[in-house]
Copies of this chain bind each other. A is one copy, B any other.
Amino acid sequence: MQKANLANLQCPIAQSLERVGEWWNILILREAFYGSSRFDEFQKELGIAPNMLTKRLNDLVLKGILDRIQYCEKPPRYEYKLTKVGEDFRPVLLAFLNWGNKHFAADGIAVKLIDRETGKTSRPILIDSVTGKPISAKSHAIVSGPAANEELRKKLKRD
């Protein structure tokens, strides 16, 4: 991410974006969810330059989103597994998947989410698990929380 003012830095959306840093990180996480764990798998799937991939994987390990696990001693070889934080990125990817399928799949559906038990295509929606209500702009609002600074508080009051 480039420069951002204080209100942005406190915002959890900005905090999250800072963790995934750039598209490559999101695409690496996508591949991790699709089953890649080894350097050469990520490289093959993404067609990313090795030095860039090394940098991105180190960055994701540093941020606690991937774990690096040695699976071979001689020569030393590592695989990369999603941590709990990484696993929790799944809803973001699924939200991107939905948005893409809904609006940018003019040539048909290339990737979809299915129910493993029935094999049927899922239609994921966000609900409020407190009330069971679907989340919409009408029923739900984004507001400042107890830790918000003055600037963020003012920004979110406008809604």
Contacts and interface: CB of A to CB of B under 8 A. Distances in A.
Interface of A: 1-5, 7-8, 10-17, 19, 22-24, 26-27, 30, 33-35, 45-48, 85, 87-105, 107-118, 120-131, 133, 135, 137-149, 152, 155-156, 158-159
Contacts of A155: 34, 45
Nearest to A122: B128
A6 to B, nearest CB: 9
Contacts of A103: 19, 85, 88
Query: Which has the most chain B C-beta neighbours within 10 Å: A34, A89, A107, A148?
Result: A34
Contact of A112 (B16, B17, B95, B143): B143
Residue from A12, A98, A109, A139 whose CB has the most chain B CB atoms within 10 Å: A12
